[in-house]
Amino acid sequence: MQADTLVTSARDGDIAVVTVANPPVNALSQPVRAGLQRAVAAAVADPAVGAIVLRCDGRTFIAGADITEFDKPPMAPVLSDVLMEIEAAAKPVVAAIHGTALGGGLETALASHWRVALAGARFGLPEVKLGIIPGAGGTQRLPRAVGVEKALQMITTGDMIDAREALALGLIDAIVEGDLAAAAVAFARRVVAEGGKRPRLSERDERVADARGRSELFAEARRQATRRARGQDAPLRAIEAVEAGVNESFAAGLARERAISAVLKASDQSRAQRHLFFAEREAGKIPGLGPVARPVDVASAAVIGAGTMGGGIAMCFANAGVPVTLIDAAPESLQRGLAVVRRNYESTAARGGMTAAEVERRMALIRPGAGIADVAGADVVIEAVFENTAIKRAVFAEIDRHAKAGAVLGTNTSTLDIDAIAAATGRPDSVIGLHFFSPANVMRLLEVVRGAKTADATIARAMALGRQIRKVPVLAGNCDGFIGNRMLRARGREAERLILEGALPHEVDRVLYEFGLPMGPYAMGDLAGLDIGWRIRQERGLTSPVADRLCALGRFGQKTGAGWYRYEAGSRTPVPDPAVEAIVVEVSRELGIARRSIGAEEILRRLLYPMVDEGARILEEGIAIRPGDIDVVWAYGYGWPVYRGGPMHWADSVGLARIRDGLLAMRREGDPAPAALLERLAAEGRGFRDLAAA
Ligand code: CAA
């Protein structure tokens, strides 16, 4: 694409209007950078031009650098040079912002002399989410615009702010209404009439002077970043760039920013995070769906079961502004569920996360229902009752009697057979698995599980519904455990072997925590409750020698104050328990296993390689469409560290031949051979990423 078609110039009297038109998000690809440079230079050189308005066509202002260019060598002109020229321009430049000004887009606005925006515009430097830092002056100009503390917060979290806050902070000069281009031209004309001032953020010192020498400010930012983004390099390196600019000079800060930016762009962390960025978007695309109508937003929902999951799911709808009816067979459970939801909202409000009025607005969207007949008006019905096929089938037979034609009927099961549940209705084509992750109102993943008879239209609507309630939906096939829990089970099997051979539960957990996961299988078991698995094992005639013994002692996890760990009264912190160690050692002895000391490296390998193997089987069987979908499941559903890109991306970084060899070495009698797909890719010296590209 030519620079002069992506960036055009037009004159409105004495104002040059420079327009970027690079759909879908006006990313700053090389031709856009070159076009901007040329257009601004031409306007400056034109004696008839008094000022320049910089605006964008389409749905948004510039949403950042073109991420697809990151793997290529840098191509001139680099953005920071273009922006230096814009800031140094001899005529005022006014950025006219709508949609989202993100990353390099916000940096372009910050290099402009003036910024006007529509009320709906939002602003952010989301680079840390891609494992990098702003690379075109963002770490230097933002603190000079909004102050160091706020800038540190925006840069280290990557979160956006809205136009009202941007105006209050001094990030923008005006919020305008109606025709943005016309309003920006009028603003520019006023600037010219008042003498053509060109305030340059690079020369503004007072906001950073406030922070100079205040090392505690940066120490606090580091503390928060370390807690929030454990293991990630980018937030800490961003703080370093801001600090250099505050304590030294704009030029020194810029040089530091540029150096760090180059290092991080080539880092494994950034590669992993970029992979997830694109994998998340790719997961929304379902190949092979027949022609289906473009799904419309759901206008109302019903959730059956007011337990922890049901309440959390109802909150998802209320949070997205969708009225939802919450139904439970037991009136006292419904009241309790509603009270829990209210408590959740109120605790968010107490932390300053929402206003008291907002709590009431959301609660008003959650209507208590009298019975299943109340699903009648809903566009989507989600069952979240006890995890038992017979109970779920009974509920679905009842839903079938009352739900309107065309409603999506979702079951929030984490393991059960969708087809068996769908068969309880006369419309299995409308039934689909909608597997939310706990806590449902927080975790972003939604596993959408297609049954044998699920219609394409139902799949399309379920995926759209997931996006509407701000989840990341991933389509899975119907099997025991779907994508996420199936891999979790593979890991759990090996974890059990490890503790019987010599490791202790807290050692296993620590290895995974240090790898970057929020917790390991034993702390997770205590959180979820050990009794659930115990009951399922009993139903299926299975055993898990140590876990069964803990349950027989009434150690069900956090809820009973003891499980794999013990818990002080009122605390959720797991404390290793010598009583558990004694049980583990005793079971090993009973099974005739000689315990030995097992190192962290072996523990990690033995926990993660079987997950990769199971992931390969999931791909072979078509349960997941692509390796990236599995990565998205693990990043958004289980807290896999984003800077390691998900288990399949991680496997590629380790090398599949190494993983295959590791699996063969740890194989026990009766274990299956490594997955054929893994064997094949390893033999060919390829990775899962090659599969995605094929
Ligand atoms: N580069 C390349 N492609 C991009 C892109 C970017 N910065 N941002 C979005 N896209 C692509 C997406 O991959 C997607 O492509 P497909 O349709 O082929 O899947 C398409 O644009 C639309 O994106 P979304 O589906 O995400 O659309 P949305 O309307 O839901 O969200 C958005 C729009 C808020 C801009 C979102 O896309 C987003 O957050 N983008 C990334 C913004 C970002 O991180 N910018 C910083 C880049 S780094 C930088 O700027 C460094 C620097 O210092 C110069």
Q: What is the DSSP string of 447-489?
A: EEEE-TT--HHHHHHHHHHHHHTT-EEEEEESSTTTTHHHHHH
Q: Kindly state the tokens that stand for 230.
A: 């454990």
User: What share of the chain in percent tops pLDDT 70?
Assistant: 99
How high is the pLDDT of residue 641? 98
341 vs 116: CA distance, rounded Å: 40
- Whole-number Å distance, alpha carbon 63 to ligand 1 midpoint, is 6
Cis peptide before 610 (omega within 30 of 0): no
Of ligand 1's atoms, which has the minimum distance to the CA of residue 277?
13
Residue 649 · residue 272 · CB < 8 Å: yes
Domain 301-476: homologous superfamily in CATH? NAD(P)-binding Rossmann-like Domain (3.40.50.720)
How high is the pLDDT of residue 410? 98
Residue type at position 653: S
User: What share of the chain in percent tops pLDDT 90?
Assistant: 92
- CB burial class (10 A; 0-12, 13-18, 19+) of residue 97? buried
How high is the pLDDT of residue 536? 83
Per-residue confidence at 2, pLDDT binned at 50, 70, 90? low
629 lines ligand 1 (CB under 6 A): no
Residue 643 · residue 269 · CB < 8 Å: yes
Residue 143, pLDDT > 80, answer yes
Sheet holding 366-368, edge to edge: 366-368, 324-327, 301-304, 380-383, 408-411, 431-436, 445-450, 472-477
163 lines ligand 1 (CB under 6 A): no
How high is the pLDDT of residue 3? 56
- Average pLDDT (122-142) is 98
How high is the pLDDT of residue 414? 86
How high is the pLDDT of residue 130? 97
135 lines ligand 1 (CB under 6 A): yes
Helices 356-365/331-350 angle, 10° precision = 150
Per-residue confidence at 387, pLDDT binned at 50, 70, 90? confident
Residue 187 · residue 116 · CB < 8 Å: yes
Cis peptide before 574 (omega within 30 of 0): no
Residue-level length of the chain: 694
Condensed to tens digits (0 to 9), the pLDDT of residues 245-289 reads 999 999 999 999 999 999 999 999 999 999 999 999 999 999 988
Condensed to tens digits (0 to 9), the pLDDT of residues 575-598 reads 999 999 999 999 999 999 999 999
For 21, 409, 610, the CA distances from 121, given in Å and listed in that order, are 18, 36, 46
Pick the residue with more confidence: 599 or 213? 599
Residue 314, pLDDT > 60, answer yes
How high is the pLDDT of residue 528? 86
223 lines ligand 1 (CB under 6 A): no
The model's pTM: 0.94
Residue 693, pLDDT > 80, answer no
Residue type at position 191: V
25 lines ligand 1 (CB under 6 A): yes
Of ligand 1's atoms, which has the minimum distance to the CA of residue 63?
35
379 vs 632: CA distance, rounded Å: 27
681 vs 687: CA distance, rounded Å: 6
131 lines ligand 1 (CB under 6 A): no
- Average pLDDT (561-584) is 96
Condensed to tens digits (0 to 9), the pLDDT of residues 647-675 reads 999 999 999 999 999 999 999 988 999 99
134 lines ligand 1 (CB under 6 A): yes
Of ligand 1's atoms, which has the minimum distance to the CA of residue 129?
44
**Residue among 25, 67, 278 to mutate when testing ligand 1 (max atoms within 8 A of CB):** 25
How high is the pLDDT of residue 426? 97
CA atoms within 13 A on the CB side of 347: 5
104 vs 583: CA distance, rounded Å: 57
429 vs 398: CA distance, rounded Å: 16
Residue 1, pLDDT > 60, answer no
47 lines ligand 1 (CB under 6 A): no
What ranges do the domains of the chain cover? 3-265, 301-476, 484-590, 600-693
- Average pLDDT (224-249) is 97
Condensed to tens digits (0 to 9), the pLDDT of residues 329-356 reads 999 999 999 999 999 999 999 999 899 9
Pairing relationship of beta strands 380-383 and 445-450 according to DSSP bridges: unpaired
133 vs 156: CA distance, rounded Å: 9
Topology match between the domains 484-590 and 600-693: yes
Condensed to tens digits (0 to 9), the pLDDT of residues 473-496 reads 999 999 988 999 999 999 999 999
- Is 484-590 assigned to CATH 1.10.1040.50? yes
435 vs 681: CA distance, rounded Å: 31
Does residue 127 carry a catalytic annotation?
Answer: yes
Q: Kindly state the tokens that stand for 478.
A: 């119907």
314 vs 309: CA distance, rounded Å: 9
- Average pLDDT (314-329) is 97
126 lines ligand 1 (CB under 6 A): yes
- Whole-number Å distance, alpha carbon 281 to ligand 1 midpoint, is 10
Residue at token pair 């709906």: 120
- Whole-number Å distance, alpha carbon 456 to ligand 1 midpoint, is 28
- Whole-number Å distance, alpha carbon 261 to ligand 1 midpoint, is 19
How high is the pLDDT of residue 290? 80
| Residues in Cβ contact with 409 at an 8 Å cutoff, skipping those fewer than 6 apart | 380, 381, 383, 396, 399, 400, 403, 425, 427, 430, 431, 432
Which residue's alpha carbon is nearest to atom 33 within ligand 1? 25
- End-to-end, the C-alpha distance of the chain in Å comes to 26
How high is the pLDDT of residue 289? 86
370 vs 646: CA distance, rounded Å: 43
Residue at token pair 């033999």: 683
Residue 438, pLDDT > 90, answer no
How high is the pLDDT of residue 62? 98
Catalytic-role residue among 69, 85, 87, 127: 127
326 lines ligand 1 (CB under 6 A): no
| Residues in Cβ contact with 664 at an 8 Å cutoff, skipping those fewer than 6 apart | 674
Pairing relationship of beta strands 100-102 and 93-97 according to DSSP bridges: unpaired
Give the CATH number of domain 600-693; options: 1.10.1040.50, 3.30.300.180, 3.40.50.2300, 2.60.40.420: 1.10.1040.50
- Whole-number Å distance, alpha carbon 171 to ligand 1 midpoint, is 22
Residue 73, pLDDT > 90, answer no
- Is 3-265 assigned to CATH 3.90.226.10? yes
How high is the pLDDT of residue 551? 97
123 vs 61: CA distance, rounded Å: 10
Which residue's alpha carbon is nearest to atom 43 within ligand 1? 64
Catalytic-role residue among 69, 87, 107, 602: 107
Mean pLDDT (the chain) is 95
Condensed to tens digits (0 to 9), the pLDDT of residues 82-100 reads 999 999 999 999 999 999 9
- Average pLDDT (373-392) is 94
How high is the pLDDT of residue 592? 97
3 state SS of 77: coil
Q: In 3D, which of 217, 209, 198, 197 has the Cα closest to residue 250? A: 209
- Whole-number Å distance, alpha carbon 278 to ligand 1 midpoint, is 9
What H or E segment, with its residue span, contains residue 472? strand 472-477
